[in-house]
Amino acid sequence: MPLRGIQVVELAGLAPGPFCGMVLADFGAQVVRVDRPGGSGDVSHLSRGKRSLVLDLKQPRGAAVLRRLCARADVVLEPFRRGVMEKLQLGPEILQRENPKLIYARLSGFGQSGRFSRLAGHDINYLALSGVLSKIGSSENPYAPPNLVADFGGGGLMCALGIMMALFERTRSGKGQVIDANMVEGVAYLSSFLWKSQKLWSEPRGQNLLDGGAPFYTVYKTADGEFMAVGALEPQFYELLLKGLGLKSDELPHQMSTEHWPEMKKLFVDVFAKKTKAEWCHIFDGTDACVTPVLTFEEAAHHDHNQERGSFITDEEQGVSPRPAPLLSDTPAIPSLKRDPLVGEHSEEILKEFGFSQEEIDQLNADKIIESNKAGSKFGILYPNTAAFRK
């Protein structure tokens, strides 16, 4: 795998940070997740391929343990607000002094500077501040989709990209660097097409070519209460759409006659409502009409195309999830199929690998600097209270 041998120390957080770490782990990095003591279980759901070390960073000796880990690591991934790591004496100026090759990835909501840098936020807030939320929703109100766009696209994935670029640059300079990845700027960058194609968005929300305004680029309900997605933008694809619907173009307004879009949409609504999703799939499958079924997660995992490509994987607990992407021809990701680690399951194992003696480990345990929670123990559901780090 392309990241084999890369050591990553991930400070446990929610959503974007764990996703970034999972991407790195899927492609071969050895990811150690540093959890807080005294929690109630891993709620990130994104710990595939990682190992867990419970470490109390609020104690000076706990911070010292992390410094020792980072002295031998390639990447540290921290998801906290500006200033948190500096208060713990774990900022980049300290860690990179001890390890100049360390890549220090900071993943936050608003970035490491600016008036919002110390504020709390969530996906909807980052979407709003980036300008993207203004383009999503109905003509009456913007609405936030599930937290994929800012948290995972603009946050976790952009941070992973930054880490990859920093690793590549290090092969030439031999030096690490600090990455300021944040959801506001990340999702704004994702929206570059919106910024550079503003003529496409001149009408109110929901009335433009690509946001549901066009009758040939939207979703329709079928006779059985299911849905079909239509994306027949190009004229030749639009003709195939009309053919499948049993309509004739010479009996309809021109495709791009925007003043007729509302009545065209009503017509398409009536036609789609006459057949089931399965019947429409039979009509449109194998054509270039750009009409596809709206699948549930279960349907997506069992769809013929996805099955043929192996697009979804099943772990040892029979949980189904997407296969890592993209697919590399020579060094593809090999995701772990084992269960996610328990919090603190690998504490002693990790410290031994990083050069700690058994005597040091025993003392850290005794002093409650670390916790060692084995599978089946009563501590097997501990989870770090990451909210405490955000205060």
**Which pLDDT does position 376 carry in this prediction?**
54
**Which pLDDT does position 229 carry in this prediction?**
98
Residues labelled as active-site residues: 122, 151
Residues of the chain with CATH 3.40.50.10540: 7-193+329-371
pTM: 0.90
Contact 22, 44 (CB under 8 A): no
CATH topology assigned to domain 217-314: formyl-coa transferase, domain 3 (3.30.1540)
How confident is the chain (391 residues) per 10-residue block, as mean pLDDT? 95 94 97 87 85 95 96 96 93 96 97 93 96 91 93 97 98 97 97 94 92 96 98 97 96 95 97 98 97 96 95 92 94 92 93 94 93 64 37 32
Contact 28, 54 (CB under 8 A): no
Selecting from 3.40.50.2300, 3.40.50.10540, 3.40.50.1980, 3.40.47.10, what CATH number does the domain 7-193+329-371 have?
A: 3.40.50.10540
**Which pLDDT does position 388 carry in this prediction?**
35
Residues of the chain with CATH 3.30.1540.10: 217-314
**Which pLDDT does position 386 carry in this prediction?**
38
- Closest Cα partner for 25 from 53, 47, 52? 47
Tokens of 40: 């109630």
Contact 34, 53 (CB under 8 A): yes
Cα gap 314→304, rounded to integer Å: 16
In angstroms, how far is CA 201 from the centroid of its own chain? 26
Contact 351, 364 (CB under 8 A): yes
**Which pLDDT does position 41 carry in this prediction?**
66
Residues 221-258 as b/e (b if ≥16 CB within 10 A, e otherwise) read ebeeebebebbbeeeebbbbbbebbeeeeeeeeebeeb
